[in-house]
Structure 1
Amino acid sequence: MTRSHEPLIRLARFKVEELQKQMAELDRSRQALIDQIERLEASVPEEQAIATESKEGFLAYGSYAQAVIKRKENIRLSLEEVDIQANALRGRLSEAFQELKKYELLEERRLARIEKAVRAAEQDELDEIAQVRHRRPN
Structure 2
Amino acid sequence: MTRSHEPLIRLARFKVEELQKQMAELDRSRAALIGQIERLEASVPEEQAAAAQSKEGYVAYGSYAQAVIKRKENIRVSLDEVDVQANALRDRLSEAFTDLKKYELLEERRLARIEQSVRAAEQDELDEIAQIRHGRASH
Q: What's the TM-score bracket when you normalise by the shorter of the two chains?
A: over 0.9
Which aligned pairs between 1:47-66 and structure 2 lie closer than 5 A? Answer: 47-66=47-66
Which aligned pairs between 1:29-108 and structure 2 lie closer than 5 A? Answer: 29-108=29-108
Which aligned pairs between 1:119-138 and structure 2 lie closer than 5 A? Answer: 119-137=119-137
Mind listing any 5+ residue stretches in structure 2 that lack a counterpart? none
TM-score normalised according to structure 1 size: 0.98
SS of residue matched to 2:7: helix
Task: State the 1:54 CA deviation.
Answer: 1.1
In structure 1, C-alpha distance between the alignment counterparts of 2:57 and 2:21, rounded to whole Å? 46
Q: Give the structure 2 partner of residue 25 of structure 1.
A: 25
Task: State the 1:42 CA deviation.
Answer: 0.4
Amino acid at match of 2:108: E
**Number of residue pairs the alignment of both structures matches:** 138
Percent identity, please.
86
Runs of 4 or more off by more than 3 Å in structure 1?
none
TM-score normalised according to structure 2 size: 0.98
In structure 2, C-alpha distance between the alignment counterparts of 1:38 and 1:105, rounded to whole Å? 46
In structure 2, C-alpha distance between the alignment counterparts of 1:54 and 1:125, rounded to whole Å? 101
Amino acid at match of 1:86: A
In structure 1, C-alpha distance between the alignment counterparts of 2:135 and 2:97, rounded to whole Å? 57
In structure 1, C-alpha distance between the alignment counterparts of 2:126 and 2:54, rounded to whole Å? 101
In structure 1, C-alpha distance between the alignment counterparts of 2:95 and 2:83, rounded to whole Å? 19
Mind listing any 5+ residue stretches in structure 1 that lack a counterpart? none
Task: State the 1:56 CA deviation.
Answer: 1.4
Please, what is the CA RMSD of the aligned residues?
0.8
SS of residue matched to 1:136: helix
Q: Give the structure 2 partner of residue 117 of structure 1.
A: 117
Residues 7-51 of structure 1: CA distance to partner in whole angstroms, max 9, x if unpaired? 000000000000000000000100110010000000000000000
Task: State the 1:59 CA deviation.
Answer: 1.0
Amino acid at match of 1:89: L
Amino acid at match of 1:27: D
